[in-house]
Amino acid sequence: MIVGTHTKIRFSEPGDAGFYRDLYLQNGPRAALLDARREFGLPTRQEIRELLKKSESARAFLFTVEDLEGRLRGWCGLRALNVEAAYCELFLVLASEEDYARPLADETMDVLLHRAFRQLGLNKILATALDSEGPLNACLVRHGFRSCGVQREVLYSGGAWQGMDTLVLTGDNYSPDAAGIGSGAAAL
């Protein structure tokens, strides 16, 4: 577990499944929660619990974000990890849209980027955000991500088509000093 100034970040556990299910139900669809066909699915708590159990044995990097009082605030991780190609996909889903502009999101991003670039030695991280995820997109850009293209009309939701922006951050553009991560980042 990493305890920051504003957050606690720990490995996800099967008991977090109910909170994750609630994330699917609030604030509309999110790019990180779309399935492989880029469709909005709605997994059951049991399906999420099974995913979390499998991820423990498959060396996935799924984390739960808590505030300092222990309230669950988000879900994040590094997935589609390809060590040979030295890249992965980062995802961050926070329960409150406002949190993407707060230190809680910044600390979470710092931990994920440090883990990917410094601990795993990756060269590139991808992230995606739907048109409706402006606060997430702004958070990614604030941390150095740059758009490498928008896929138009990926998802029909709320009576309108949404595009999905794919963003990239390379190791050359990552600054560990800017991240503000101390030696505690190695704890996860």
Domain count, the chain: 1
Predicted confidence (pLDDT) at residue 40 exceeds the cutoff of 70: no
Of 3-7, 43-47, 140-144, which one has max mean pLDDT? Answer: 140-144
Does the residue 11 lie in any domain? yes
Question: Would 188 be classed as within a structural domain?
Answer: no
> 20 with 149: CB under 8 angstroms?
no
Q: How far is CA 15 from CA 12, 64, 140, 154, in A?
A: 8, 11, 28, 32
In a domain, residue 91? The reply is yes
* pLDDT higher than threshold 70 for residue 167: yes
Q: Is residue 174 helix, strand or coil?
A: coil
Which amino acid type is present at position 111? Answer: V
CA-based torsion, 81, 23, 10, 177: positive or negative: positive
pLDDT-derived band at 94 (thresholds 50, 70, 90) equals very high
Going by pLDDT thresholds of 50, 70 and 90, the confidence category of residue 161 is confident
Q: Is 12 left (phi over 0), alpha (psi -120 to 50) or beta?
A: beta
β pairing state of 124-130 and 87-94 = parallel
Mean pLDDT calculated for residue range 107-118: 94
Cα–Cα distance, 101 to 98 (Å, whole number):
6
Domain that holds residue 6: 2-180
The enclosing domain of 39 has a CATH number of: 3.40.630.30
C-alpha to C-alpha distance for 158 and 167, rounded to whole angstroms: 24
Average pLDDT score over residue span 129-151: 90
CA distance 29 to 1: 29
Q: What is the DSSP string of 8-60?
A: EEEE--GGGHHHHHHHHHSSS--GGGB-TTS-B----HHHHHHHHHHHHHTT-
Of the candidates 180, 169, 181, which has an alpha carbon nearest to the alpha carbon of residue 144? 169
- Greatest alpha-carbon span in the chain: 47
| pLDDT score for 182 | 45
For the chain, how big is the Rg over CA atoms in Å? Answer: 16
Answer yes or no: is 186 within a domain: no
The answer to whether position 187 is within a domain reads no
Q: Is 185 a member of any domain?
A: no
